[in-house]
Structure 1
Amino acid sequence: MAVEADTSESGAKKGIPKLFIIIGAAAVVVVLGGAGLFFFLSKGTAEAEHGATVGEHGEVLPAAQTFIFNLPPMIINLNKEADEEAVMKLTVALEVADEAMMVEIQPRLAKVVDAFQVYLRELRKSDLEGSAGIYRLKEELLRRVNVSIYPSRVESVLFKEILVQ
């Protein structure tokens, strides 16, 4: 019987080092994975902070400079919804590729504001709820401004202020 007790103790002693090896290996994998993820993510954010992009062969390219064209603030009566009136105050800026595009947009500004006003008056308060509603608004305004100033082109519509009451 003394021999049986001795073998069971030695089996338990052999199991403990295996457990430590497995735990240690798992910890090393987690640490290496976390470090790799950190370096992968920090590389992208450092380039984004400096306004650079990565080219085809891994070289860092300077970001294209864009210009901002501010539109005057607009106050719009939204379409009635269940006898509830709503008003929206909207301040928009247009992002353009270069200064020449800003000069081209200036004489067509009345057409852009008119296109915005006609579209915005048909909106209801419920159309503007949530991030999806704001995204749809942004895309529709971008489409309408590009139609109004064709053949010129705006890169994006930037919201400076959106207030719905």
Structure 2
Amino acid sequence: MAGKAKPAGAEGGAEAPRKSGKKKIILLVGLLLILGGAGAGLWVTGILPGLLGMLPPEEAHAAAGAVPAPRPPVFLDMPDITANLNAPGRRAPYLRIRSRLELARPEDSAILAAAMPRLLDLYTTYLREMRPEELRGSAGTHRLREELMARANLVAAPARVVDVLFVEILVQ
């Protein structure tokens, strides 16, 4: 029996390095997770790209203190459009619109001028399906602006229409 008894120091000494190895691995993994989370947070907030000099050109100018020169707006006058509205009754109401398109770049005006017949066709077809009630109020005008802008961007695919500005809207 005395030969089978293990000394107290031998049992504790064999397990001590094993436990400290697991602790080191857990601490190392935890430290990596914390550093990764902190790095991801700095990246998402835009702090890390700014520190590394990886800002987009617009933000790089703002960070350097240089304000980019504002571009003057580019407008393209649309021809007057008159369309019958979709309404029951003997006398059909009609809509007359004069508008301007605000373009993203000066080069876009040539593209839109070339696509003007198609754009006028899309506008007129859309307007003929509208009812007079849909044009009432500012919400109706806003909805009309969004629809016309979407159609203009569809026709002039490489060009970009920023806004549709109404000069005149007449419903009779």
TM-score band (shorter)?
A: 0.5 to 0.7
Does residue 87 of the first structure (1) align with residue 91 of the second (2)? Answer: no
Would the alpha carbon gap of residues 88 and 151 (structure 1) be closer, same or farther in structure 2, given more than 3 Å must change?
A: same
Partner of 1:33: none
Secondary structure at 1:65 match in 2 = coil
| Displaced runs of 4 or more, over 3 A | 55-62, 81-84
Instruction: Give the TM-score normalised by structure 2.
Output: 0.59
Q: How far apart, in 1, do the equivalents of 2:145 and 2:139 lie?
A: 10
The code of the aligned residue for 1:78 comes to: L
Deviations 1:24-51 (A, max 9, x none): xxxxxxxxxxxxxxxxxxxxxxxxxxxx
Give 5+ residue unaligned stretches, structure 2. 1-61
Bigger CA radius of gyration: 2
Instruction: Give the TM-score normalised by structure 1.
Output: 0.61
Q: How far apart, in 1, do the equivalents of 2:88 and 2:73 lie?
A: 39
Does residue 110 of the first structure (1) align with residue 117 of the second (2)? Answer: yes
Partner of 2:159: 152
**Percent identity over the alignment?**
34
Deviations 1:51-99 (A, max 9, x none): xxxx568875543222110011011100014656211110111111222
Coordinate RMSD, CA, aligned: 2.0
The code of the aligned residue for 1:96 comes to: L
Give 5+ residue unaligned stretches, structure 1. 1-54
Q: How far apart, in 2, do the equivalents of 1:62 and 1:130 lie?
A: 37
Partner of 1:96: 103
Aligned residues: 111
Secondary structure at 1:68 match in 2 = strand
Alignment of 1:65-80 (within 5 A): 65-80=72-87
Q: How far apart, in 2, do the equivalents of 1:60 and 1:137 lie?
A: 35
Would the alpha carbon gap of residues 83 and 59 (structure 1) be closer, same or farther in structure 2, given more than 3 Å must change?
A: farther
